[in-house]
Amino acid sequence: PARVSALVLSACPFVDAARRAKHESMRVIDDVETRSDGAHLSELWARRQPFYPAGNADLLRRFMIDALRAGEMAAEGHRVVNRYRMEDRLGQIQCPTLVIAPTDDPHAHPAAPKVAGAIGGSVLRELSGGMVPLPDQMPEVFAGVVRDFVAGHVAGS
């Protein structure tokens, strides 16, 4: 708490016992088995495509490059998040917190009110049309919301 004066959470899931139980045996989205013919790349593209804006293949292409760089670890972030005991931690956040919820992210958007509700005094901002790649999809809007929030709290300190 002494080192964090404000916090921004973007597209944050709400991980509690129910979510951990649900996801414990589920395959995470980026978990594809590498195949020598490269078919795993098409599978990964197809699994991710519904969560990216239509007509903007560049965002999905950039994700694919990152996934290739990460190799077998590409799916690990989802596994780590799904194991986290978030319900034990969110209430401990004491600083001003902005919770950003992209409205077209079917995983993060429904959880956003729970995340914001668990953090006393937090502010929930929904960004209409935002999807999984929100910061890259809508960089000016995203940066503006973050800048305004931080500026408001720096000025108030």
**What are the pLDDT digits (tens) for 32-56?**
999 999 999 999 999 999 999 998 8
Phi–psi pair at 142, nearest 5 degrees: -60, -50
Tell me the CATH architecture of domain 7-14+86-155.
3-Layer(aba) Sandwich (3.40)
Q: Specify the pLDDT at position 27.
A: 92
Q: How does residue 156 score in pLDDT terms, banded at 50, 70 and 90?
A: low
pLDDT at 155: 63
Between helix 39-48 and helix 57-70 the angle, nearest 10°, is 130
Q: Which residues contact 101 (CB under 8 A, 6 or more apart)?
A: 11, 108, 109, 112, 124, 125, 126, 127, 130
81-133 pLDDT, tens digit each: 999 999 999 999 999 999 999 999 999 999 999 999 999 999 999 999 999 99
Query: 19: which 2 tokens?
Result: 């979510």
The pLDDT of 63-71, averaged and rounded, is 92
Q: What pLDDT was estimated at residue 116? A: 97
What is the mean predicted confidence (pLDDT) over 5-9?
A: 94
The one-letter amino acid at 20: R
3-state SS assignment for residue 93: coil
Q: Where in the chain is the domain with CATH 3.40.50.1820?
A: 7-14+86-155
Q: What is the pTM of this model?
A: 0.89
Q: What are phi and psi of 13, to 5 degrees?
A: -75, 170
